[in-house]
Amino acid sequence: MPGPRGEATDPLIEIEGLTKRYGSFDALNGLDLRIMPGEIYGLLGPNGAGKTTTLRITAGLVEPTAGTVSVSGFDATRDPLHAKAVIGYVAEAPILYESLTPRQLLEFEASVRGLAKDPMNRRARQLAEAFEVASTFDTPIATLSMGTKQKIAIMTALLHQPPVLLLDEPLNSLDARSNVILKELLSLQTQRGGAVLFSTHIMEIAQKLCSRIGIIYQGKVVAEGDVEQLRARAGEKDATLEQVFMKLTNEASEVQGTIRTLRESFFENEDR
């Protein structure tokens, strides 16, 4: 599982000064992250804060404007093939070859990654049973529901047992049973020394599942730590994670103002 340095104390994901500019817009503005073996790191932020851009650059799908990304010791920009080999990535909208069946997609994935046939088949069968997709294993992906497509994307990311998982809103469209299965798989990932970086808008999931949480705002991580550390940073001892998030992203007062405006608008005729 270790990269070229091979030290268990090295971060599995190390991001320094990451910047991504689209024209005059900075999607990322000097973002820094270090994620260690055994960690589940949740990335929280408002829409447009840079969560998906961070994951795409780390996965080697987008080139940064500046900064460096190391995955298991491999430079994601200079050595993308080795970096991608140690990553399992699930996009917010599943990226699948929809003309294939799930079985064909997993076989293709295995061939690209050079996986031995028997272990791959066993792992694919176990994942199909766990996510209850065995009955659709020979059905074209294009005909499957969004939830089933999400399951197939997760199975594809897990097939080669990568040390690093990058998951963008992975619980989208999943049923309750599959949520439980995925959470257990993420726990197993950390138990075997791997790391997970995922983005989510579901505060309860982040609070229960993550070793650490990073709050990203305007392209930078403005606070990180466990829930208690984030509460201390926000100066809110008994606050919920949602309340902490709103304060640290400077949205609490703005939201209250918006709510007052909406209340006045929707109920303006009731006092007449």
The per-residue pLDDT for range 89-127, each reduced to its tens digit, is 999 988 899 999 999 999 999 999 999 989 899 999 999
pLDDT of residue 2: 44
Amino acid sitting at position 129: E
Weakest mean pLDDT among 23-32, 103-112, 187-196, 237-246: 237-246
Q: What is the pTM of this model?
A: 0.89
Most confident listed range (7-11, 71-75, 243-247): 71-75
pLDDT score, position 238: 86
- What is the average pLDDT across 129-135? 95
Cβ atoms of residues 153 and 90 within 8 Å: yes
Cβ-based neighbour number of residue 150 at 10 Å: 27
- pLDDT, averaged across the chain: 90
Is 87 within a domain?
Answer: yes
End-to-end CA distance of the chain: 69
pLDDT at residue number 4: 47
Q: CA of 39: how far to CAs of 11, 54, 171, 195, 225, in Å?
A: 10, 17, 18, 5, 12
Kindly tell me if the per-residue pLDDT of 7 is higher than 90: no
pLDDT of residue 261: 80
Query: Could you tell me if residue 182 is inside a domain?
Result: yes
pLDDT at 203: 87
Q: Mean per-residue pLDDT for 3-23? A: 81
Has residue 206 been placed in a domain?
yes
Within-domain flag for 208? yes
Q: Is residue 100 part of a domain?
A: yes
Number of domains in the chain: 1
Supply the pLDDT for residue 247: 87
Whole-number Å distance between alpha carbons of 127 and 272 = 62
pLDDT band at 6 (very low <50, low <70, confident <90, very high): very low
CATH code of residue 119: 3.40.50.300
φ, ψ of residue 37 in degrees (nearest 5): -55, 140
> Confidence class of residue 265 from pLDDT cuts 50, 70 and 90?
confident
Residue 38, domain member (yes or no):
yes
- Does residue 3 lie within any of the structural domains? no
Residue 208, burial from CB neighbour count under 10 angstroms (0-12, 13-18, 19+): exposed
Tokens of 114: 């050079």
Side-by-side strand order, sheet with 195-199: 87-90, 164-168, 195-199, 40-44, 212-217, 220-225
Angle value at C-alpha 64, between 221 and 151, nearest 5 degrees: 75
Tokens representing residue 1 in the block: 């599982």
Residue 211 CB neighbours (<10 A): 16
> Over 60: is that where the pLDDT of 3 sits?
no
Spatial neighbors of 120 by CB under 8 A, at least 6 apart, are 106, 107, 110, 159
Q: The domain containing residue 134 runs over which residues?
A: 13-234
Tally Cβ neighbours within 10 Å of residue 193: 14
Percentage of residues of the chain with pLDDT beyond 90 = 73
Kindly tell me if the per-residue pLDDT of 8 is higher than 60.
no
C-alpha to C-alpha distance for 208 and 120, rounded to whole angstroms:
31
Q: Is residue 246 part of a domain?
A: no
**How far is it, in rounded angstroms, from Cα 253 to Cα 86?**
42
For residue 160, what are the contacts with CB-CB under 8 A and spacing of at least 6?
A: 85, 88, 109, 110, 113, 115
